[in-house]
């Protein structure tokens, strides 16, 4: 009986030991499983969470790196433009000589009192045989040698006033250059002084050079244009007389030079179309500046 009891006790003890050992094994195994599971979760967190970002579809930059010297110039907004200005002629720079835009500057009137007063003892001398009422004052515009528009004044006989005004209108619209158009009274009616200054003028009571006959200018029936470049030339007592005296360079009409009046010149064409005679066609003398009726 005692033997059986010992066997039972031994078996019970073994069972207890096995049970305890089994529990420890299960506990350790669970801990290892938990540790492993925790490690896997940590390692796979990025892999397990789905990537919701938009994939980069841009083409990779394969360009050659910029090795140029960096621009160290100062910004245009900080420094004034020092570039050479454009001096080419634009449409805005072209001289406007349209008559319609300036027609109020072209007119004929009786000689104003202030003008007639200035003429006294100069172009209108005390012995002048032409009545004031036979003369007219003309105001015009003309293009100068500087290619700018200038005002001009003339006194002419009333019989040619309309023709002269129309001629100057057409010369203006054509851009024909006349250096000065001033009353000869500004030169104290000194014809030589006026001509040598290349002044274009009309009335001046005087006699024809080297004669005792009243000139067409004395009657207001003649106009002289660009006088220096188109002188009066005549042989007197075997010597060449040139008026103005400083116009010797322009006596030879076979030469080409600016402002020369000849048969191809617009001024010649307009005056002759209006019935004027040109002094350049005379035979005994040549008056290249002169147009008369």
For the chain, 293 residues long, give each residue's pLDDT as a single digit of tens.
544 555 555 555 555 554 555 565 545 544 454 444 444 434 443 344 444 444 444 444 444 444 444 444 434 433 444 444 443 333 334 567 777 788 899 999 999 999 999 999 999 999 899 999 999 999 999 999 999 999 999 999 999 999 999 999 999 999 999 999 999 999 999 999 999 999 999 999 988 767 888 999 999 999 999 999 999 999 988 999 999 999 999 999 999 999 999 999 999 999 999 999 999 999 999 999 999 99
Q: Helix, strand or coil for residue 135?
A: strand
DSSP letter for 82, please. -
In DSSP terms, 201 is beta-bridged to 224
Question: Which whole-number Å values give the CA distances from 213 to 68, 193, 289, in the listed order?
Answer: 88, 21, 19
Query: 119, 183 in Cβ contact below 8 A?
Result: yes
pLDDT on residue 195? 99
């Amino acid at each position: 009986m005692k033997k059986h009891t010992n066997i039972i006790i031994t078996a019970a003890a073994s069972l207890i030991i096995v049970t305890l050992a089994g529990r420890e094994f299960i506990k350790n195994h669970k801990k290892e499983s938990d540790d492993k599971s925790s490690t896997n979760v940590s390692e796979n967190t990025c892999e397990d969470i789905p990537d919701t970002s938009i994939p980069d579809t841009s083409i990779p930059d394969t360009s050659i790196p910029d090795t140029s010297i960096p621009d160290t110039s100062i910004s245009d907004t900080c420094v004034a433009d020092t570039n050479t200005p454009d001096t080419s002629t634009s449409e805005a720079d072209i001289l406007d000589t349209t008559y319609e835009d300036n027609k109020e500057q072209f007119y004929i009137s009786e000689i104003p009192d202030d003008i007639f007063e200035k003429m006294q003892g100069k172009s209108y001398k005390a012995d002048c045989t032409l009545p004031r009422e036979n003369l007219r004052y003309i105001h015009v515009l003309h293009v100068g040698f500087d290619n700018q528009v200038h005002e001009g004044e003339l006194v002419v006989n009333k019989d040619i006033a309309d023709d002269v005004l129309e001629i100057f209108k057409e010369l203006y619209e054509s851009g024909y250059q006349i250096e000065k158009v001033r009353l000869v009274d500004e030169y104290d009616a000194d014809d030589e002084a006026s001509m040598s200054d290349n002044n274009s003028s009309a009335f001046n009571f005087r006699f024809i050079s080297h004669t005792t006959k009243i000139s067409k200018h004395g009657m207001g029936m003649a106009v002289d244009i660009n006088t220096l470049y188109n002188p009066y030339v005549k042989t007197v007592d075997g010597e060449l007389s040139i008026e103005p005296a400083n116009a010797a360079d322009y006596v030879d009409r076979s030469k080409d030079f600016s402002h020369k009046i000849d048969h191809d010149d617009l001024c010649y064409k307009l005056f002759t179309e209006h019935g004027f005679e040109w002094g350049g066609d005379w035979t005994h003398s040549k008056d290249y500046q002169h147009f008369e009726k």
